Amino acid sequence: MNKTIIPLQTSQIPLALAPNGNGLPGPAEVVTLFNSVTTFGAKAMPHYQLNWFIFSIAPSTNATGNSVTGQWSADGGTTWNEFYASASNEPVGDSTTFSDEVYIGQFQDVRFRFNNGTLAQATKFDVAMALEGRDRASSGT
Amino acid sequence: MSRNKSSFHPSFVPEIRAGYFWLPKDTVNVGLTSFRILEGNKNSTFDQTQTTVAKQPSLISNNGNQQLSYVGAIDVPGSDVRTITSTDVVAGWTGNTYLGFWHKFPVTNSSAPGDLPSGATTLFNHNKVAPNRRWSFTHSGTDDTYSLTVSADGTALLTDKWDASSDYPSASDNPWLWKELILTVGIGVQLFIGFVLRSQTVTAINISSLSNSTASIAIYSSALSGINQNAHQGGPIYYGNGIPSLKNRKRLANYLNPRNVKFQI
């Protein structure tokens, strides 16, 4: 399975699902980026032989508490256990964007969430995500 | 096994995610006053605009991907785009900076077919007159050189120059070239063409930080009043907050490549 880019644009989020009415994450809101139970069904992800979850997020508001976390589940999504938490600052030091690639090959189910900080996103919440099945190794960035 | 063309996106490169990029395929409203080349990280104030239809670049296609074609000043009024004057933009960083893009001087200049480039052509400009100077990469047909001009304080300028005479097209070749500038503060700046270092440097840039001026950005044209003397064409262009890894630089070069070559990662 080749990597598939999953662009998520603010305008694609139904307003009914956006608590603040503009499609942007609000204060302390948790946004699910990817959930394998929702996508493939419970315990079905291993059939797709996925190795990496890759994401890049450019929020418009750099609030304390902005982070990305990853969780795994062995019971089809009833219990989730955290195994990944993003660094608070990007390697390039701008402290506003989040980019990483996370190995998920050993898990039955995973979900990734963006934990919005204390301030609502003001103008944009730009997300790019990919699932990678071809490469066992890191991309070597 | 490396990622293939369809499985990479510039957004995944941290330095580009924290910077800015423009893909010609993201050009909208061609022929309308609302013409825009959208900034890839959805920073709309960094979109490229041109309300005068006659001055808009046209879209061309090479290797199945889209590029922008600009006509020179002899073809009045010439093409140019820039962030709109009322939204001069601040890059947001002062440290290491990367510029990478596909570029071509056409085999036949629409103004004078077969002519080599003459006069001044601006390839990338984030700059204004003092005290808002930052970064300007230009080509001079007069002495066959590329020039990068930067400023640490927004006023005083430093310039590096590199020989460009081997980059002009002949009728038989495909002169699409991947051009990169790598500015390392406190060290200097390097120009790579197709990942080969272009060594000729007349003067030397060595600054401790890059000015974070408020200025317009113009891709393949000047943010000031001057129109390019030459017709030329450009592909995807990346303005990075920091220096991407070599592997990511090659992925950027391979992405929506106008030329049927692939850099091995």
Question: Does any domain span residue A138?
Answer: no
**Is A140 in contact with B12 (Cβ distance < 8 A)?**
no
Question: Does any domain span residue A137?
Answer: no
pLDDT at A1: 41
Closest by alpha carbon to B78, among B59, B57, B60?
Answer: B57
Closest by alpha carbon to B56, among B67, B42, B71?
Answer: B71
Backbone angles phi, psi at B260, to 5 degrees: -80, 60
Q: Which residues of A touch B8 (CB under 8 A)?
A: 3
> What ipTM was assigned to the predicted interfaces of this complex?
0.80
pLDDT tens for A24-44 read 898 989 999 999 999 999 999
DSSP state of A17: G
Of B4, B9, B93, the CB nearest to A94: B93
Calpha distance B101→B139 (Å, rounded): 14
pLDDT band of B199, cuts 50, 70, 90: confident
Of B7, B11, B95, the CB nearest to A3: B7
A 46-75: CB under 8 A from B: 54, 56, 58
What is the CATH number for A103?
Answer: 2.60.120
Query: Residue type for B8, please?
Result: F
Burial of B70 (0-12, 13-18, 19+ CB in 10 A): buried
pLDDT tens for A101-137 read 899 999 999 999 999 988 888 888 889 899 988 766 6
Beta-sheet strand order (sheet of A30-35): A30-35, A109-115, A67-73, A81-85
Weakest mean pLDDT among A57-61, B107-111, B173-177: B107-111
Mean pLDDT of the region B138-143: 89
Give residue for tokens 């090959």: A105
pLDDT at B229: 85
pLDDT at B226: 79
Mean pLDDT of the region B223-227: 81
Greater model confidence, A80 or B224: A80
Q: Which residues of B touch A3 (CB under 8 A)?
A: 3, 7-8
> Is it the case that residue A83 has pLDDT exceeding 50?
yes
Number of domains in chain A: 1
User: In chain B, what are the domains?
Assistant: 5-254 (2.60.120.200)
Question: Does any domain span residue A91?
Answer: yes
Question: Does any domain span residue A140?
Answer: no
Give residue for tokens 């071809």: A134
Tell me whether A130 touches chain B (CB under 8 Å): yes
Question: Does any domain span residue A127?
Answer: yes
Greater model confidence, A99 or A84: A84
Calpha distance B204→B188 (Å, rounded): 7
Domain that holds residue A49: 4-132
pLDDT at A17: 45
**Is A90 in contact with B3 (Cβ distance < 8 A)?**
no
Tell me whether A97 touches chain B (CB under 8 Å): yes
pTM score above 0.95: no
Backbone angles phi, psi at B180, to 5 degrees: -135, 140
